[in-house]
Amino acid sequence: MFDASRDPFKLIQELTDIGIALSAEKNHDRLLEMILGQAERITNADGGTLYSHTEDGRLKFEIMHTASLGIRMGGTSGSEVPFPPIALYDSSGRPNHKMVAAHAAVARQTVNIEDAYTSKEFDFSGTRVFDSKTGYRSKSFLTVPMMNHENELIGVLQLLNARNSDTGEVQPFSRLHQNLVESLASQAAVAVTNKSLIDAQRELFDSFIQLIADAIDEKSPYTAGHCRRVPVLTDMLAEAACRVTVGPLRDFTMTEEERYELNVAAWLHDCGKITTPEWVVDKSTKLETIFDRVNLVDARFDMVGRDARIEALERLLRQHGVADVDAALAADDQLRCELARLAEERDFIRQCNVGGEFISDEQRRRIEHVAARHWRNGDGEELPLLTDEEVYNLQIGRGTLTTEEREIIANHVVVTIKMLESLPYPKHLRRVPEYAGGHHERMDGTGYPRGLNRDHMSIPARMVAIADIFEALTAKDRPYKKAMPLSQALTILGRMKVDNHVDADLFDVFVREQVYLRYAERFLHPEQMDAIDLHTIPGFELAADDRR
């Protein structure tokens, strides 16, 4: 046992070491356990309780120890303290001076009791009940309020049954014990306050990050949830990569702080989209701007059909009285063929307006043929049925965006990097811009915006890239494609591995550790959850354990 009275130099060193340890501890529960444990150690107490001061004016049981009874509750023990909080004031606002812990809190003073059973000042009936049930004898109590540097109540530290370091007999807490615990309580209160401030700042920071991500998702109904899902998938992949014990990533690890840094980057990976025009992000068809201009094209087709009918009627009127039935029937057949051709061409243009993965040279030529038709506007002016700009958009080979619009979209990464690099990060977040800014880079150096290859990208940055791709492939709310089955998404991602676009090692972890499946079970629709045959996934080889 530690006896502070025997070596004052050791006492000073002990308090110094305790202060350093309290300042270094980042986990709230472990911090509280450390406070109570150190107080018990330096006073040779058999047990103790640590209470926290709640916002509604009560003392909450956080940690409870009794060494001789083997009791450890609260904190990291996994066992909750079963007692309700202690009110500091009654319903009329009068302070609670009956309970020793409440009195120490409201009076802001230490209470040192030699024997609870002889004390007339406080109500120890609950203590007596506990003793009768356990056969314990609660005797000496030392109850110290924990006040921070702003003289605010943080909690109460209560110690039970100081023991003689030689005989083990229960004895009162000495004046030196009281001074030591008061000093420790002061250090502990500051440590708890600092931890609370850090936690509050982090909570504010995290909320602000999520606010930005929500704002980006809210800009477009077609990307809603993307900024929320990518961090989840990134964290799943990071966890799996840290878990593997074989393969190239078997020695890869990430600390809790590094995982947090990656999570922040994943939340902010698309923050540059806040400057991207909505009409580009939301472009669900090739002719869409503020509205889908295919309706204007439909109206022109209607006008061409109207003119064809008018022309046919005028020919019949000119032939009025002429007994040429054959000519009339031929004119009617010609009109029907023309109207049918117009309807077919209009349907074709509508089909081309929907974004797809491929458009043939024959389809391109047919678009140009349709564009060569003319229609007459209200002023009688003849104009091409399709403008050059409409032809250019309808001939888009993949998706709904033109080259120029894709450059606008791609610029969001440049803006993301600029925005994130302008922030004054603490040391543990300095790699956020790198992780967030690399999600459109490729392992062969053909990505954007910087053309980085695998050797120039960290493993966490490559994780964000895979998460971003897989989320986009499986998203059910994109304007240019239907919800993709899981097997198809894995096949496309596998081809990207083969083409050296995504990191091969992380792809193998993604599949082998079934990251894709855990994500799918949480976010995909049931109809997307088709059967997966890993033998058919490009670039993926089953390990020996997988083949069994």
382-384 vs 374-376, strand pairing mode: antiparallel
Answer for the pair 131, 138: CB distance below 8 angstroms, yes or no.
yes
Cα distances (angstroms) measured from residue 468 to each of 223, 232, 272, 465: 12, 11, 15, 5
**DSSP states of 235-291 as a string?**
HHHHHHHHH--SSTTTT----HHHHHHHHHHHHHTTGGGGGS-HHHHT--BTTBSSS
Whether 477 contacts 468, CB under 8 Å: no
List, for residues 229-257, the tens digit of each pLDDT value: 999 999 999 999 999 999 999 999 999 99
Q: Residue 480 pLDDT > 80, yes or no? A: no
Whether residue 329 has pLDDT greater than 80: no
SS3 423: coil
How far apart, in whole angstroms, are the C-alpha atoms of residue 40 and residue 68? 13
Whole-angstrom Cα distance, residue 450 to residue 473? 23
Per-residue pLDDT tens over the stretch 267-312: 999 998 888 887 887 788 899 888 889 999 999 999 988 888 888 8
**What pLDDT, in 10s, does the model give residues 64-96?**
999 999 999 998 998 999 999 999 999 899 999
Per-residue pLDDT, 377: 87
51 sits in which H/E element:
strand 45-53
Distance of alpha carbon 141 from alpha carbon 6, whole angstroms: 22
HSE (side-chain half, CA atoms, 13 Å) at 35: 34
The CA-based angle 397-389-288, given to 5 degrees, is 70
Residue 413: the pLDDT is 92
Residue 467, both tokens: 């998460």
Pick 421 or 198 by higher pLDDT.
Answer: 421
Tokens 């986009």 correspond to: 472
From residue 408, give the alpha-carbon distance in Å to each of 183, 232, 390, 418, 449.
61, 27, 19, 15, 12
Residues whose CB is less than 8 angstroms from the CB of residue 520 and which lie 6 or more positions away in sequence, other chains included: 474, 486, 528, 529
* Closest by Cα among 399, 69, 371, 415 to 216: 415
So what's the pLDDT on residue 266?
96
Examine the pLDDT at 156 and tell me if it is beyond 60.
Answer: yes
Structure tokens at 96: 């609670």
pLDDT of 394? 93
Per-residue model confidence as pLDDT tens digits over 482-530: 778 999 999 999 999 999 999 999 999 999 999 999 999 999 999 999 9
Strands 71-74 and 58-66: antiparallel
Of the candidates 482, 546, 483, 486, which has an alpha carbon nearest to the alpha carbon of residue 516? 486
DSSP string, 127-192: HHHHHHHHT-----EEEEEEE-TTS-EEEEEEEEEEE-TTT--EEPPPHHHHHHHHHHHHHHHHHH
pLDDT of residue 12: 64
Higher pLDDT, residue 213 or 53: 53
Q: 332 or 353, which is more confident?
A: 353
H or E element at residue 376: strand 374-376
Can you say whether the dihedral through the CA atoms of 284, 411, 426, 456 is positive or negative? positive
Can you read off the two tokens belonging to residue 289? 């701007």
pLDDT, tens only, 19-36: 777 777 777 788 888 888
Instruction: Please tell me the predicted confidence (pLDDT) of residue 275.
Output: 85
- Contact criterion met (CB below 8 Å) for 297 and 386: yes
CA distance linking residue 31 with residue 18, whole number of Å: 11
Give the predicted TM-score (pTM) of the model: 0.70
Largest Cα–Cα distance in the chain?
A: 135
Among the listed residues 511, 509, 516, the one whose alpha carbon sits nearest the alpha carbon of residue 538 = 511
Distance between start and end Cα atoms, the chain? 56
3-state secondary structure of 343: helix
Contact 209, 264 (CB under 8 A): yes
Averaged pLDDT, 457-480 = 88
**pLDDT of amino acid 216:** 80
CB-based contacts of 505, cutoff 8 Å, min separation 6: 247, 248, 249
36 vs 325: CA distance, rounded Å = 110
pLDDT over 90 at 321, yes or no:
no
Give me the pLDDT at residue 548, please.
40
Question: Which is higher by pLDDT, 516 or 149?
Answer: 516
CB 234 within 8 Å of CB 264: no
330-342 tens-digit pLDDT? 667 788 888 899 9
> pLDDT tier at 325 (50, 70, 90 boundaries)?
low
pLDDT of residue 356: 76
Each residue's pLDDT tens digit, 366-410? 999 999 999 988 888 899 999 999 999 999 988 888 889 888 888
Share of the chain above pLDDT 70, in %: 91
Per-residue pLDDT band for 5 (boundaries 50, 70, 90) equals: low
Orientation of helix 459-474 relative to helix 504-512, angle to 10°: 60
- Cβ–Cβ < 8 Å for 460, 435: yes
Helix axes 515-523, 486-498, angle to 10 degrees: 140
